[in-house]
A and B are shown apart, each in its own frame.
Chain A
Amino acid sequence: MAQATAGQRIASRNPLEIVIDRTWRFFCSVRVAMAEIALLAVLVLIGTLRGSSVPDSIAVLLPFTRPVVDAWYAWDVFHSLPFMGLLTVISVAIAICTINRVPGIWASIAHPTIATTHGFLRNAERSGEITSPLSPAALATQSRAAIAKSGYRALADERQREIHLYADRFRYARLGTFPFHLALILILVGGIVSARWGFREMEFMLAEGSQRAVGYGTDLSVRLNDFSETYTEQGIAADYHSDFTLLRDGEPLESAIISPNHPFTHGDMTFYQSGFGQAVVMQITDVAGNVRFEDALPLGQFRSADNPEAPAAVIDVPTAGVSMTVIAPDENPRSQPELDQLNLRSGQMYLLLRPLGPSSPIAEPLAITLNQGTPVPAGDLSITFLRETRFSALQIARNPGISIFYAASFLLVAGLAVTFYFPHRRIRGIVSPTPGGGSKLVLAPMARRDWSGQQAFDRLLNNLETSLGAPIARIDRVTEPPAGAAGRQHVATSP
C-alpha cells in the first residue's frame, strides 16, 4: 500500500522534477563518483605520459599505433575541454554527494539510533559480557559512567524491560569529510580565479641597464640595475640574482634583489628570478647624431635559421623605421662547423636590417657584419654594436587565487587529519535482567572486519574491567577467509 502511494506520487510529479531528481541521484551515486575519479585518473595518466617517451616506445614496438601516438602527443589533455568538463562534473558531484550526506552524518552525531538487536550482538566478531547481581537499571547506570570515563559518550534507552546502550567517541570527526571536500572545490576555484584575474609572464627578459613595461594593464615598468651570477669551482651555477627597480610612470617605486626561491612581491604582483643569458647592446643614430635607439637585446630567444648554435635577437625599432635581426657568433664552433657560414669572430655581430613602415630611412634589406665599437652607415642611419652584456629572465605573476589555495590547503589537511586520526568509534549493548534478580550486559563494537576498531573495543573492555571491578567474558569470533567455512569460535575469559 505504501509502495503504491509512493509510485503514484512520482508519477504525478512534473517532468522537470523527475529530471532534477534523477540528476541529483546521478551525482549522489558513489559508483558514478568512483567512475568519474577513475576517468580523471586515466586522463591524468594520458597527460602525464605525454611528457615522456613512453608513447613513442609503444609506437616503435607496434608501428600501427603511430597515428594514435602522434595524436596522443598532440593532445594537450590538461587544457582540453573534456578535462575541464570532467573537473566541473566532479566538483558538482563532490558538492552534491557531500551535501547529500549531511543529514545522515548529522543524525548519527546528534540523534544516533540507540536501539539494537540481540542478533547484532550475537553475530558481532567480538563482544564482551558482564554479569552482575545489580538490577538492570543500576548496571546500566554504572557501566554508562564507566564507559564515559574512557572518553565515550554513552546513551541509554529502555525498551521492554531491557536497557539498550549506545556509546561513541570522536563523533564530530565525521564532519571532517566536509572541509576536505570543500577544500577540493576551493582549490579548483582558486585555479579559476588565478586564471581569470591573474597573469603569468614566463619569460620577461631584461638586459642590464634596460627598462621594460610590465604590461597586462599595469602602469608599471622594471629596470634591471645589475645581474650577477656565481659558480662553484666545478663550474655549476651556485647562485644568480637580479638587482632591479620597479617604476610607475617612470618614477622609481621600490628596488629589490631577487634570486631563485627568493622572489619579490609588490602589491599583488610577484617577481621571480628564472634564468639569465647573453645580450647585445645596439645603438642607432641618425645623420644629425641623435640617438634613435640604444638598448640591450636578449640573445637566445631566437636562433639563426641556418645555424641553431648561433643565438639571435629580433626587434622592431619604429623610432628608426627599421627592423633588426642580430645574430651572434656560433656558441660552439667546433661542433658542426659546416653550419657556421657566417664565420663571425668574437667581437662581431651579424646584422640584418629591414625597412619598417612607409617612411623607412632604408629602401631595401641590408646585411652587415658589425665589429664591436665601430659605427656602420646604413642609409641615413649609423648603427653600432656597442658591447655585450647579460640579460636576466624574470617571471612576473599575479596570482589572486593563492589565498584561496592556502585556505583550501589548511581545510584539506585538517579534514584528513580529523577523519583518519580520530575515527568515529561506536559500541552497542543491551542490559537484560537475569533470572536471579541480577542483570547481564552484552557489548559489541560496530567494527565489522575492522581490526583497529576491535582493538579499540578491547581497550575499552580492559578499562571497564578495572573501573567496574568485575570480570568481563570476551567472545572473539575470528572470521575465516572469505568464502570459507563457518567461523571458528573460541571463548576466552581473561584472568
Chain B
Amino acid sequence: MSAIDPTHASTTTPGRLPRVAAGLAIAVALAAVAWIVSERAGLGSIGQGGINQHLLPKVGDVAPDFKTADLFGNPVRLSQVRGQPVWLMFWGSWCPPCRVEFPEVQRAYERLEPDGPRLLGVSVRESPLDAASYAAQNGATWLVLSDPTEADTDTAYPLYNVPTHLFIDADGIVRSVDVDSPRNLARSPSASRRKLKTFG
C-alpha cells in the first residue's frame, strides 16, 4: 500500500467520534441546502403529474354535476337523472374508435334498457349537427348531448381520450370508469351482468 499512496500514512487521523459527528453535520447541511434550493427553484409541485394526476372522478366518488345541451339546444343537467343509474359516455363521430364501437354501444344499451339505466352520450369537439346526423344514420336510441367546445364538461370531466365511459349508480356514485370500449357488454352476457351489478 505504501508504495501506492505515500501520503496516506503521513496524515494524522482525528478520533472516530468527531469524524462521525462532522460527517453527520455535513450530511444534514447537504439535505438542508438541497431542501431550500428545491423549494426556491419551484420544484414543490413535482409529483402531481403522470400517474398521480387525477383527471376523471374516481370510482366511489360522487359524479360531479354538469349542465350542457341536447341536440336542439335544450339544457340538460346530469343531476336531472339522479335516482336512476346513468351510463355517461363521451364520444365524437370524428373519432374512429367511437365509430367502431358505436353499433356495440347501441346493442349494449338495448340489452340494458329494461333495467332502466339512462345512456347520456355527450358528443365533444364537433358541431351538434355532425353528431346528430351520425347518431341518426346509425340508429342511436339514447340521449345524445352536445358540448362542442367541452366548455360545459371539461372542468369536471377532463378528457384525454375519447371514447370515455363512466357508470354511475342511482345514488350518483361512480361505479366504473372505462377509458376503452364497453363492447364486451354487448358481446358477452356474463360481462354485461357483471357491469350491470355496478349499477347498484
> Touching in the complex, A and B, CB below 8 A?
yes
| Of A166-174, A230-238, A419-427, A460-468, the one with at least 4 CB within 8 A of chain B | A230-238
- Known A-B contacts A234-B160, A388-B99; A373 and B180 likewise in contact (beta carbons under 8 Å): no
Which chain A residues border B99 with CB–CB below 8 Å?
346-347, 388
Task: Please tell me if A226 contacts chain B, counting CB pairs below 8 Å.
Answer: yes
Q: How far is the CA of A389 from the CA of B133 in the complex (A)?
A: 20
Chain B, residues 87-127, CB within 8 Å of chain A (1/0): the string is 00000011011011011000000000000000000000000
Interface size on B, residues (CB 8 A): 30
- Known A-B contacts A230-B180, A235-B160; A278 and B100 likewise in contact (beta carbons under 8 Å): yes
Task: Please tell me if A331 contacts chain B, counting CB pairs below 8 Å.
Answer: yes
Task: Please tell me if B161 contacts chain A, counting CB pairs below 8 Å.
Answer: yes
Chain B, residues 55-90, CB within 8 Å of chain A (1/0): the string is 110000000000000000000000000000000000
Least Cβ–Cβ distance between B2 and chain A, in angstroms: 8
> B125: nearest residue on chain A (CB-CB)?
A334
> B161: nearest residue on chain A (CB-CB)?
A235
Chain A, residues 471-482, CB within 8 Å of chain B (1/0): the string is 000001010000
Task: Please tell me if B179 contacts chain A, counting CB pairs below 8 Å.
Answer: yes
Which chain B residues border A233 with CB–CB below 8 Å?
53-56, 160-161, 177, 179
Which chain A residues border B54 with CB–CB below 8 Å?
233
Partner pick for A228 among B94, B160, B181, CB 8 A cutoff: B181
Task: Please tell me if B137 contacts chain A, counting CB pairs below 8 Å.
Answer: yes
Chain B, residues 139-183, CB within 8 Å of chain A (1/0): the string is 000000000000000000000110000000000000001111101
Q: How far is the CA of A345 from the CA of B3 in the complex (A)?
A: 84
Least Cβ–Cβ distance between A479 and chain B, in angstroms: 11
Task: Please tell me if B38 contacts chain A, counting CB pairs below 8 Å.
Answer: no
- Known A-B contacts A278-B96, A373-B137, A390-B100; A228 and B161 likewise in contact (beta carbons under 8 Å): no
User: Cβ of A228 and Cβ of B133 under 8 Å apart?
Assistant: no
> A277: nearest residue on chain B (CB-CB)?
B96
Least Cβ–Cβ distance between A387 and chain B, in angstroms: 6
> A328: nearest residue on chain B (CB-CB)?
B96
- Known A-B contacts A228-B184, A331-B96, A389-B100; A372 and B3 likewise in contact (beta carbons under 8 Å): no
> A371: nearest residue on chain B (CB-CB)?
B137
Q: How far is the CA of A63 from the CA of B68 in the complex (A)?
A: 60
User: Cβ of A231 and Cβ of B179 under 8 Å apart?
Assistant: yes
Task: Please tell me if A333 contacts chain B, counting CB pairs below 8 Å.
Answer: yes
Which chain A residues border B137 with CB–CB below 8 Å?
347, 371-373
- B interface residue numbers (CB < 8 A to A): 3, 50-51, 53-56, 93-94, 96-97, 99-100, 102-103, 130, 133-134, 137-138, 160-161, 177-181, 183-184, 187
Query: Could you jot down 30 A-B contacts, CB within 8 Å?
Result: A226-B187, A228-B181, A228-B184, A229-B180, A229-B181, A230-B179, A231-B160, A231-B161, A232-B51, A233-B56, A233-B177, A234-B50, A234-B161, A235-B160, A235-B179, A331-B96, A333-B94, A345-B130, A345-B134, A346-B130, A347-B93, A347-B99, A347-B137, A347-B138, A372-B137, A372-B138, A388-B96, A388-B102, A478-B3, A490-B3
- A interface residue numbers (CB < 8 A to B): 226, 228-235, 278, 328, 331, 333, 345-347, 371-373, 387-390, 476, 478, 490
